[in-house]
A and B are shown apart, each in its own frame.
Chain A
Amino acid sequence: MRIGIPKEVLNGERRVAATPDTVKKMIKMGFEVSVEAGAGGLANYPDQMFIDAGASITSDADSLWSSSDLICKINPPQARSDGSHEADSLSDRGTLISLLFPEQNPELVEHLQSGSKTAIALDKIPRITRAQKMDVLSSMANIAGYRAVLEAAHLYGGFFGGQITAAGKTRPAQVLVIGAGVAGLAAIGTARGLGAEVRAFDVRPACKEQVESMGARFLMLDVPMDESQESSGGYANIMSDEFLKAELECFADQAKEVDIIITTALIPGRKAPELILQDMIDSMKPGSVIIDLAAEQGGNCTATVPGEVVVSSGVHVVGYTDLTSRLPTHASQFFGTNIVNLLADMGGAGDFKVDFEDEVVRKSTVVRQGTLTWPPPPDPEKPPVTSQGKGDSEVVADLPQPKKNSGHGHGASNEPMAIGPRNVIALTLAVVLALIGFTAESAPVPHFVQQVTVFLLACFIGWQVVWSVTPALHTPLMSVTNAISGIIVVGGLLGVAGTEVNTAAVLGAVAILVASINIAGGFLVTQRMLQMFRKEGN
């Protein structure tokens, strides 16, 4: 089978769908490879390198297309400068592997439904663990995230890392990354690597751990985030109004503090949400930089002009849509490797087939032998939801996790009442104690012995109960024991309760006086103290 690698037609595109390295692998798999002359030039892969790798060079694009069984390229087929359309050049039995974005390009999809052409959309490769090695969106997002930081650093007039020199010191640049997908995480890692201090936001609380593992601070909103669960495919859902409002307030606060904002917020199949509004841009320090990775989908920033850098209130707003193309050598390498992995998955040259039993192939095939096969049928059961892993490589199959307790573990639980095991023991003992007290009247034990028994049991109960008191409440514990010690008022009452006001009665009365102070003072001051204790947010 013959694979054709055409030169990209898209204006400004520097990448190429194969590199000498991936060509070697294709040939090893049994393919024959033909590369259009100059295809890798802008990515620093001259034709000679392809020849050395074993490919042949074809100078005419049209004949390359028509003579190949398989065309691997990056961008969706489009009209060439001479007016002809790339898709028309595909041979009738040919297979096209490239980005297609079928939702956005219905005409192209129609165009491809002729003869028995087959078209596989690389952007439709499902985000499952097995397909990660073929996922060009992830590998390109990683590059975009990296490049975004470099673009920001290029435009920013200061150091990223804090400097301490004889000429003075500077504080590290403050970077805010919105959206902690692959691109966001790559941006965090790159900015951290340059020494900046990074904070990141994502509507999916499950990202917190990943963000923190990259060395950034995860911003939390006050509103509960559990509604903001992950949709299938590792992208964020659309949020409620309340959430959106809190989110925007958070960004407004952040805008005043940070030097660099990198936005990567995308909602699948929709226009990108507008998150950085004009007043936030106005509130940023002059010289700050905003890199909008969502520029192609309309941008996360009001001021974004796709493909351009605009200056608004002294802030550079970068809307480049070709960030990956600005790193062509390695972007081509990754892209090419993704394609090689896909070809291997499809059986290589010897056993190449569009196998609909293969979930990856089924989901990404838009046209098979001239008939439309897109969109694919819905899953019989939900495949494992994936979210993007750290950096560019692994995917962590995780469902939204319960928010981890970030150090509020205080022993103070939300249990309705503290009838813990200790109290159960204590209550049981109290009953035993009571029984002893009741039966003692008739029992042949001396009164004193019975009293000692009650006393020791009560000490034991006290010991059990008091150890369960949280140390934070030891002062209220003391004041409440002050109050209940006032029960000695009973002794005073017995002293006063006589026929005349004699010495004993007066002594009893003074005892009542001080014991009443204890009772009233103890309980009231305890109540006062306990009312002060409140939980965060109450």
Chain B
Amino acid sequence: MELQSFVAIPNVAYLGAAILFILSLGGLSNQETARRGNSYGLVGMVIAIGATILLLVVPDAYGTTRVISSDNWTLLIATALVGGVIGSVMAKRVAMTAMPQLVALLHSFVGLAAVLVGISTWLTADLAGYGSDLVHLLEIWFGVAIGAITFTGSIVAWAKLRGWLFGKRVPGAPLLLPGRHGLNAIAALACIGMAVPYVSDTVSQAETAVELEKQLQAAEGVLERIENESAGIRLMQDEINAAVAEVERIEAALQVASHPSTDSRAFLFLMMLTGLTCLLGVHLVIAIGGADMPVVVSLLNSYSGWAAAAAGFMLANDLLLVTGALVGSSGAILSYIMCKAMNRSIWNVVFGGFGTDGGNPTGEGAEIEGEVTVTDIEEVAELARNAKSIMIVPGYGMAVARAQHLVNEFSGMLRKRGCNVRYAIHPVAGRLPGHMNVLLAEAGVPYDIVLEMDEINDDCPETDLVLIIGANDVVNPGAETDESSPIYGMPVIQVWKAETTIVLKRSLGAGYAGVGNPLFFKENNKMLLGDAKDSMSQLTALLT
């Protein structure tokens, strides 16, 4: 069988892989099908990589076969293996609380890969044949820029998440440079500005290459003519030598001209672009407060998709294009959901420094008056024992206190007694969209009793007891009533409509957003002060 008949196979395989990727995202529509969805994704990936390898070894549509040296093969396989092993170890070791960091790190890798692929594509471009394609050059330019922003932005996000998790209570405070919007604008303009010499240099080099190719053809024509004329006559040897030298000279020049060089001015600009967009990425994310990491990570998820799509454009690879678009829109949706849940404008997050525009970033909200009722474990146990319907509102504080296993034990015990215990999850309860669901699943909480805010909010008035564990702002009634509150307008879980609420809290301090919570002063609210883990273990002990 001729190898050429294989040419169509990669395309078909890419199509299959694209469909499998779509199914893998579609499988996540519910927990029953999710695992199968993940397997679809894996199969799609294997098919895509296999097809690409096939693409490398079979002749292309013009019948030319790539020459790949054994050194290159070694490099390819070795890096793939090393990367695979590192990835597996990371996936195995990562704690579920550290998922945001892992996700941020993986985003940065996509960004980095996009940058590297962009530069590598530019360096390997065949200018004599293809290089004057302006669109292609700009695709590379854009791909490198978005890749670099994703790369450094994600690295900063990762560092912020890590720093916070080390418990030093450095909640990734926003670093706000003076006139940062101006700086962003200047950087963006510079990126556009630098594209001009980069494009013009590359295009002129490509024109040179095309010109040289014409000259080469002419010189080769000359050489051929001389050789024909001088057949068997030694007299014309000098002329022949001169013609051969001319051909060799032009060939050497073409060799140089047809491939962009690392010494060229265009390369310098490409590097400057990389550097500048790396700085831009740092600047955009560092200006965003630690509380808004769910939005930032979602946004970077989207960027990583666009970076992959840009790589698809520059490589004219439809699978990369489709995958990038899928991931990009997925991240965009998540960002949108997160922004809505936090009542933020997406543009504030995109351009950085969100929550600091207009008004007082550390606004206190209205003064709250009233008494805080402090309760004890016995009373809470008593209330839990007598409640028919209990809602548990977990926040990230629960995970920090590592109380989720005890909370699960507690809820399981009560459910066994016939009590309708359910969990209410605010979209921003964790440090990632859906993070709290994963943490609860890890602790063994069945997913069918874990409900989203929108699903459970209407049930609040019929709930006897609400336990708020490590959450604060997501149950703040001020978000609905107090127009002066910085979180005014943010959708919250309306726990205060329940008969009794218990807030498990270390102390009577303000929440993450630095906002006082009027819930604490409501008559039907009681505070259970102390470490959530200790409280929960005493509570479960009392209920057994």
A residues whose Cβ falls under 8 Å from a Cβ of B: 171-172, 197, 199, 217-220, 253, 406-420, 422-423, 426-427, 430, 433-434, 437-438, 447-448, 451, 454-456, 458-463, 465-538
17 contacts between A and B (CB under 8 A): A455-B325, A461-B325, A474-B434, A476-B434, A477-B434, A481-B327, A484-B323, A488-B117, A493-B56, A501-B75, A503-B262, A507-B123, A512-B76, A519-B83, A525-B91, A525-B102, A530-B31
Whether, in the assembled complex, B337 has its beta carbon less than 8 Å from a beta carbon of chain A, the answer is yes
Q: How far is the CB of A433 from chain B (nearest CB, A)?
A: 7
User: What B residues does A476 contact at CB under 8 A?
Assistant: 28, 34, 38, 434, 438
Bound-state CA distance A470–B334 (Å) is 11
Whether, in the assembled complex, B311 has its beta carbon less than 8 Å from a beta carbon of chain A, the answer is yes
Bound-state CA distance A420–B32 (Å) is 14
Whether, in the assembled complex, B64 has its beta carbon less than 8 Å from a beta carbon of chain A, the answer is no
User: What A residues does B417 contact at CB under 8 A?
Assistant: 253
Q: Mark B294-318, 1 if CB is under 8 A from A, else 0.
A: 0001100100110111011101111
Q: Are A462 and B325 in contact (CB under 8 A)?
A: yes
Instruction: Look across to chain A and name the residue whose beta carbon is closest to the beta carbon of B431.
Output: A475
B residues whose Cβ falls under 8 Å from a Cβ of A: 11, 15, 17-19, 21-38, 41-42, 44-45, 48-49, 52-53, 56, 66-69, 71-72, 75-76, 79-88, 90-92, 94, 96, 99, 102-103, 106-107, 109-110, 112-114, 116-117, 119-121, 123-124, 135, 262, 297-298, 301, 304-305, 307-309, 311-313, 315-334, 337, 382, 386, 388, 415, 417-420, 422, 425, 427, 430, 432-435, 437-438, 441-442, 444, 446-452, 455, 459
User: What B residues does A536 contact at CB under 8 A?
Assistant: 415, 446, 448-449
Q: How far is the CB of B291 from chain A (nearest CB, A)?
A: 18
User: What A residues does B444 contact at CB under 8 A?
Assistant: 534
Q: Are A515 and B113 in contact (CB under 8 A)?
A: yes
Instruction: Look across to chain A and name the residue whose beta carbon is closest to the beta carbon of B61.
Output: A441
Q: Are A497 and B262 in contact (CB under 8 A)?
A: no
User: What A residues does B25 contact at CB under 8 A?
Assistant: 462, 465-466, 469, 477, 480-481
Query: Chain B binding site: helix, strand, loop or mixed by DSSP?
Result: helix
Q: Are A471 and B337 in contact (CB under 8 A)?
A: yes
Q: Are A471 and B52 in contact (CB under 8 A)?
A: no
Across the A-B interface, how many residue pairs have beta carbons closer than 8 Å? 460
Q: How far is the CB of B66 from chain A (nearest CB, A)?
A: 6
Q: Are A513 and B82 in contact (CB under 8 A)?
A: yes
User: What A residues does B121 contact at CB under 8 A?
Assistant: 491, 494-495
Q: How far is the CB of A161 from chain B (nearest CB, A)?
A: 13
Bound-state CA distance A430–B305 (Å) is 18
User: What B residues does A477 contact at CB under 8 A?
Assistant: 25, 28, 330, 334, 433-434
Q: Are B322 and A458 in contact (CB under 8 A)?
A: yes
Q: Are A493 and B119 in contact (CB under 8 A)?
A: no
Bound-state CA distance A251–B68 (Å) is 77
User: What A residues does B18 contact at CB under 8 A?
Assistant: 430, 433-434, 458
Bound-state CA distance A515–B86 (Å) is 11
The contact of A472 among B106, B382, B447, by CB within 8 Å, is B447
Q: Are A491 and B31 in contact (CB under 8 A)?
A: no
Q: Which of B27, B71, B119, B322 has the most CB of A within 10 A?
A: B322
User: What B residues does A510 contact at CB under 8 A?
Assistant: 79, 112-113, 116
User: What B residues does A483 contact at CB under 8 A?
Assistant: 41-42, 45
Report if A516-B448 is in contact (Cβ < 8 Å); known contacts: A473-B434, A487-B45, A490-B317.
Answer: no
The contact of A521 among B38, B91, B96, by CB within 8 Å, is B91
The contact of A497 among B76, B325, B422, B450, by CB within 8 Å, is B76
User: What B residues does A532 contact at CB under 8 A?
Assistant: 96, 438, 441-442
Those 4 A-B pairs whose CB atoms lie nearest each other, nearest first: A516-B83, A474-B434, A520-B87, A521-B87
